[in-house]
Amino acid sequence: MDNQNQTKKSFDKTQDKIKIWLNDKENIVQFEMGTNVVEVEEGLAKQIHDDAVSFLESRPEKKLNILIDLGKSKPSGSEVRKILAKTLKISKMGRIAFYSTSITQGVIVNFVAKASGRKDTKNFTDKEEALKWLKTK
């Protein structure tokens, strides 16, 4: 991706932990966990939720498809999973693709997505396949 096709926004409190930006060319919002994030604790989960709401509400589109690159992160504890499930319920989120090379993350993400009631999510181990899925329909 080239920079002219992206609207980047990193949030001050989490800039080394998560980046959120809009890929203008594809009209897909991308969330990327920082390389140093291994465990998502309650405080970070709340900040991610607040940042996602802030970013998505600032966009004029009704719904945007989302690509979440989980990196090496994993949620820790039931409160974190509840916050992440709440985040998945944000009304401006369209289809959601999760990208991770970890099978364990895929299991956790499936659990959280089901808890949120979403049926339009899918896990991928290949980032390009995730983007391709988001562009269909």
- Asked, for residue 136, whether it belongs to a domain, the answer is no
Q: What is the CATH number of the domain that holds 26?
A: 3.30.750.24
Residue type, 100: S
pLDDT in tens, 95-124: 999 998 888 888 888 888 988 999 899 999
- Asked, for residue 80, whether it belongs to a domain, the answer is yes
- 116, 88 Cβ separation under 8 angstroms: yes
The whole domain housing 29 covers 3-130
Percent of the residues in the chain that have a pLDDT greater than 90, as a whole number: 28
pLDDT in tens, 4-29: 445 444 443 445 678 888 887 888 99
Angle at CA of residue 122, ends 126 and 115, nearest 5°: 140
Domain total for the chain?
1
